[in-house]
Homo-oligomer: A and B are copies of this chain.
Amino acid sequence: VFTVDALVEGVHFDRRFTPPDAIGHRALAVNLSDLAAMGAAPRLALLSFALPSDLLLPDFDAMVAALSSLACRHRLHVAGGNLTRSPGPLMIDVTLVGTVKPRQALTRSGARAGDEIYVTGSIGGAAAGLQMLRADTGTSQPPQVRLKADTTVSRYLYPEPRVRVGLLLARNRAASACVDLSDGLADGAWRLAEASSVGITIDAGSLPVDAEARECFEGAGKDPILEAITGGDDYELLFAVRPRLRGRLNAVIRAGGVPVTRIGVCSDNGSVVLRRGGDARSAGAPILTPMPHGYTHFR
């Protein structure tokens, strides 16, 4: 499995509130998450840096150290790369090589109507953290220490790719389709649905919205569910499981060490919707609304 992804200053991160070690960590984490979504074991990395002249050497060192540390934890060998000047933004391109047995590789296209939809960990944390960092930029100084201790902020700055769960899903052949949530759960649901030619109904009440993020969104007068599913940078895995293979999933959950939540089901009507209400807690019939679309890279 080969994957390449770029982190571009001013598009994917803001150097005013993203410390160098977080830049390095994230550049690798987003790529590891792509391997995780295919159930592949990380093997080799190639790095390509375009460095602006105002980047200080200690900051470059911190960036590379954080990247190397994450690589080391995943037994990933950084084989080489390229350094060049940039007359504009800092850019980091990471290419990863991973391995997976052909018949075990996870794709986005294997889901069928009736499959259940699951998500790892929690969602919305990174988006809430990014909002906090943005709100704090240019105000009271120095915010770094306080903010870095915040859980949602560190969810944004130092995401943990779900490499182990991806590997287990592939080896146990538990998932029929899988995608990682780089651009939010809503976007991931659309991609999985489109690739598999199925509809997906997500039950809002089941979504594992990060508790701190929920507070943060509610405090800002926003709908926590909408914020959590459209906010990017979660790097959780969204996957489909055939109901009769739930036993395999349970084995993955026992070995994976990460919470997994059932949040919806695949349908044969082709529409991707969010379902609210209609459960024991709320009176009346459920309300189905079209799933919002995620981040648009080009307009």
Contact = CB atoms under 8 A, between A and B. Distances in A.
A2 B79 contact: yes
A86 B84 contact: no
Interface of A is mostly: strand
Contact of A81 (B4, B8, B46, B85): B4
Interface in A69-105: 79-89, 91, 93, 95, 97
Interface in A4-22: 4-6, 8-12
B46 A2 contact: yes
A216 to B, nearest CB: 27
Chain A interface size, under 10 / 10 to 19 / 20 to 34 / 35 or more:
20 to 34
B50 A91 contact: yes
B2 A85 contact: no
A85 B6 contact: no
Nearest to A86: B8
A160 to B, nearest CB: 22
Contacts of A298: 51, 83, 85
Given A10-B87, A86-B89, 12 more contacts: A2-B80, A4-B81, A5-B82, A6-B50, A8-B87, A10-B88, A11-B50, A11-B86, A84-B297, A86-B91, A87-B88, A93-B93
A2 B44 contact: yes
Contacts of A81: 4
A48 interface: yes
Contacts of A93: 4, 6, 48, 93
A291 B47 CA distance: 31
Given A10-B88, A89-B88, A4 B95 contact: yes
Contacts of A84: 6, 8, 11-12, 297
Contact of A82 (B4, B88, B89): B4
12 contacts: A2-B79, A2-B95, A4-B46, A4-B80, A4-B81, A4-B82, A5-B82, A9-B87, A48-B93, A50-B91, A84-B297, A88-B89
